[in-house]
Amino acid sequence: MAERSTNSTPARNGNSPTQGNSRNSTQDHRSDSSDERGGTDGHIVVFSVGWVVRGAKTGQDAINIAVSEVGKRVGSTGNQVRTVDISVQRIGCNSCGIGSDALLLVSETALVGLFLEIEVDAEDSETAEKIARREVGPHLHNTPLTSVDIAPAD
């Protein structure tokens, strides 16, 4: 079973009204603006994504390229997306308990398993998933988004 890695890379929304350098100041401003729209709550939607990388010499190169490519694509999502965090999936061995990155590299072509943790403005989890798919899906053309978890944001 794939697990979420603790190392994640945030992709900033380029359409936000303010672009602060710190994550907290960006979220504080957005929470104020969501109160003005009628108090919509935030939800975090986690999608599992398999990303194909061609021309990677090593596994780490494939991971770096995958995170970079996905980050560029999801960084320009709509106004209902607050943040998108990208992390590499981890796969654990049942017999020895050691985990490794979800990565398959054959002949300089890699499949990298990623988690997209998307924070959206939505009142319930069903609406949150629909918004996340609508906002992120078109930026990841022909890439299936498998919903893994949906939870209210803190």
> pLDDT tens-digit profile of 19-51?
333 333 333 333 344 444 445 589 999 999 999
- Report the predicted TM-score, pTM, of the whole model to 2 decimal places: 0.72
CA distance 67 to 63: 6
Largest pairwise CA distance in the chain: 53
Contact 87, 114 (CB under 8 A): yes
In tens, the pLDDT along 89-145 reads 999 988 888 899 999 999 999 999 999 999 999 889 999 999 999 999 999 989 999
Q: What's the domain range around 46?
A: 2-152
User: In total, how many domains does the chain have?
Assistant: 1
Do 104 and 111 contact (CB within 8 A), yes or no? yes
Token output for 23: 């994550």
Q: What's the pLDDT score for residue 10?
A: 53
Of 56-60, 61-65, 69-73, 74-78, least confident by mean pLDDT is: 74-78
Contacts of 93 (CB under 8 A, 6+ apart): 99, 100
SS3 of residue 117 by DSSP? strand
